[in-house]
Amino acid sequence: MDPDELLKNAKALSKQMSEYQGILPPDPPVSKQCSEAAWEELLVECDEQFNYMQQLQNDIAVTDADSSENQLNETENRINTLTAELKQWEESEPRLLSVNPEVLLSVGREELSQLNAQLEMVLSCCQAKRDKLREILKSERKWLEEKEEVLRAATEQVKALQEENERLSETSVLLDMKKKLKKMKDFQDNLLSTLSDILQEHFPLPQEGENGNKRKKKFRPEPRGDLISLHDILELLMNKTVETPHEPYVVMNESFWPPYIEMLLRYGIASRHPDDSVKIRLESFY
């Protein structure tokens, strides 16, 4: 296992152990069933080991005081000494501090008690983590059931729409289209009729002798009798645009009254051909 991952797992376990420390049972009392003789023997052995350590420290201090001036040789000697001591410790077997059975039994009980407490802590953490995972699993299952219910409802709705579309026959669609076309044609006829009435009322054809102003009569020529109305001009332009959209221009002749043409051009209803001024077309209003 990677050292970083091992350290991360250890931190997580430590955090969980600190969180659930409060719910652990109390530590069992340490057994103290050793006799007085065993305790005295253990204390004596401890005193002996302590005196031995003090003697070693005194020897080291004396050696440091009597060291030579050659620091390099001293360092090399110390390294050799430590290496030899390390090798000796590696080859030697560990020795118990005491061989008294009562002392060993008491120490073993204490170690087992601590190990038991640690295992109970790990068990408590695992149980808490298990309960948390169960809650997460329960919520995820509930979410999955809701999504499945939504999916079933959507599937049923799609199926119903498909069945409804299949029930619609081609005949019903055709009849619906015919009704719409008839409605649009009636609307177009009504619109054209209204346009014709407006044009006849407000833009009538010029009549001979209708202008009594003699001064204006000198400068305006008498209107021709074969002039077509503004309604007919617009109808020609619209029919030409619909029938031949690639060539929507209409050639003007003497039957087109110039004031009407000028009005259509000035108000942007029609436009001239860029190369032929005799041709005009209806402007696109879309």
pLDDT in tens, the chain (286 residues): 555 665 565 556 555 555 545 554 454 444 445 677 777 777 887 888 788 888 877 777 776 655 555 566 777 777 888 888 888 777 776 666 666 777 778 878 888 999 999 999 999 999 999 999 999 999 999 999 999 999 999 999 999 888 877 777 667 778 888 999 999 999 988 988 888 888 888 888 776 545 544 444 444 555 556 788 888 888 899 888 888 888 899 999 888 889 999 999 998 889 999 998 899 998 887 6
Q: How many CA atoms lie within 13 A of 45 on its CB side?
A: 13
| CB contact at 8 A, 45 and 97 | yes
Listed in sequence order, the residues at least 6 apart from 214 whose beta carbon sits closer than 8 Å to its beta carbon are none
Gyration radius (Cα) of the chain, Å: 57
pTM over 0.75: no
Task: Give the tokens for residue 156.
Answer: 């049923």
Residue 286 CA neighbour count, 13 Å, CB half: 1
Q: Model confidence over 53-109: pLDDT tens digits?
A: 888 777 777 766 555 555 667 777 778 888 888 887 777 766 666 667 777 788 788
